[in-house]
A = this chain, B = another copy of it.
Amino acid sequence: MVKRIGILTSGGDAPGMNAAIRAVVRKIIFDGNEAYGIRYGYRGLAEGDIRKLSVNDVSDTLSKGGTMLYTARYPEFKNKEGQQKGIEQLKKFGIDSLIVIGGDGSYQGAKALSEAGFPTVGIPGTIDNDIAGTDFTIGFDTACNTALEAIDKLRDTATSHMRTFIVEVMGRDAGDIALWSGLGSGAEQIIIPEAEFNMDEIVAQVDRGRERGKKHTIIILAEGVMRGADFEKALNERGDYHARVTVLGHVQRGGAPTARDRVLASMFGYTAVELLNKGKSGVCIGIQGKDIVYNDISKVLSGKQRTTNPYMALYDVNNEISY
């Protein structure tokens, strides 16, 4: 019997979400089943903004940032009532299982649907990389490269003027983007939620660099620590540092996904369908090493924000090589 599988994206968009949607849709149709796209996340689910997707509907989407299914915030889905509306729509369209691409918030909805008996699988899609049970999330690699390219550009002008630049990157609870773009750009300082920072030490290091004839200092600041403008003010109050902040902002969410993100998204999308094919649900996909894995959504959510950031080694290494 032909199965009908729905797919939606939820929460902040991330580069590679389209690659995941494409893999899901293509794999479903390859298997002889039917794919249904739900637009605007859980809001569209509750409202029935749903239509069948063909192979051609996902052509030439692989290289595009954003999400062709759009996304929306829909707090009502936290309530049973909102969830029930969604399940009714799914039934109305004859859809028998669902794939949700998004971050923690999106997983809450997926968990609720699973617990209500509707087979759902989650795919980690967020530039923040802050999901437990997976080494990487879709969009993280692209966001790091976007940040890195911007920092490379800032370094040109920082060097020419002998300036200190503070670069505020995304990451409320997780310092992953700051860690990767910081070590990748040779930033003198990386300031993240996972580690204490001390303004005295920062000032001392900038001073040491200047004495050594360093032409610039780059400080990467995860947004979760404090606002870049406040950090700029605090640093400039300490001396004649001519520090300037640049807030990279939403630029980090967009752009053509990198090879890494496209491959990851394709493997995740494919595997999500495979799991549903095997009758597996209530789980979310991840990558550990070279292996595509899956974990119970409830387990992943209880480990929210990962108790410790798995990339703290980058922080320590940076301290010893970027000074």
Task: List residues of A whose CB falls within 8 A of some B CB.
Answer: 9, 12-13, 15, 22-23, 26-27, 30, 55-56, 59-60, 62-67, 70-72, 135, 141, 144-148, 150, 152-162, 165, 180-181, 183-186, 212-215, 244, 246-247, 249-251, 253-256, 258-260, 262-263, 266-267, 269-270, 288-290, 292, 310-311, 313-314, 317-318, 320-323
Check A62–B259 contact: CB distance below 8 A: no
- Contacts A12-B157, A55-B323, A157-B250 given; 15 further ones with Cβ under 8 A? A26-B321, A55-B212, A64-B156, A65-B156, A66-B156, A135-B290, A141-B259, A144-B259, A145-B258, A153-B255, A246-B250, A246-B251, A260-B260, A266-B314, A289-B290
Question: Is the beta-carbon distance between B153 and A263 smaller than 8 angstroms?
Answer: no
- In the assembled complex, the CB of A169 is this many whole angstroms from the nearest CB of chain B, namely 12
* The 9 A-B residue pairs with the shortest CB-CB distance in the complex, in nearest-first order: A289-B289, A153-B254, A65-B156, A156-B254, A66-B156, A13-B160, A26-B321, A66-B160, A184-B262
CB distance from A285 to the nearest CB of B (A): 13
B161 touches A56 (CB 8 A): no
Oligomer: number of copies: 4
Chain B contacts for A184, CB-based, 8 A: 62, 259, 262-263, 266
Assess A67 versus B160: contact at CB under 8 Å? Given A244-B250, A250-B246: yes
- With CB as the reference atom, state the residue of chain B lying closest to A143: B259
Q: With A and B bound together, what is the CA distance between A212 and B57 in angstroms?
A: 13
Pairs A–B under 8 Å by Cβ, sample size 24: A13-B161, A26-B322, A27-B321, A63-B152, A63-B155, A66-B157, A135-B289, A144-B260, A145-B258, A147-B259, A148-B258, A148-B259, A148-B262, A152-B255, A154-B250, A184-B262, A184-B266, A185-B262, A244-B249, A244-B250, A246-B250, A246-B251, A263-B314, A270-B321
Kindly list chain B residues whose C-beta atoms are within 8 Å of the C-beta of A145: 258-259
List residues of chain B with CB within 8 A of the CB of A152: 63, 254-256
Contacting pair A146 B153 (CB below 8 A): yes
Is A254 a contact partner of B186 (Cβ separation < 8 A)?
no
Indicate if the CB atoms of A270 and B186 lie closer than 8 Å. no
Inter-chain CA distance A270–B319, complex, in Å, is 11
Question: Are A154 and B247 closer than 8 Å at their CB atoms?
Answer: no
Residues of B close to A250: CB separation below 8 A: 153-154, 157-158, 165, 244, 246
Nearest-CB residue, chain B, relative to A136: B290
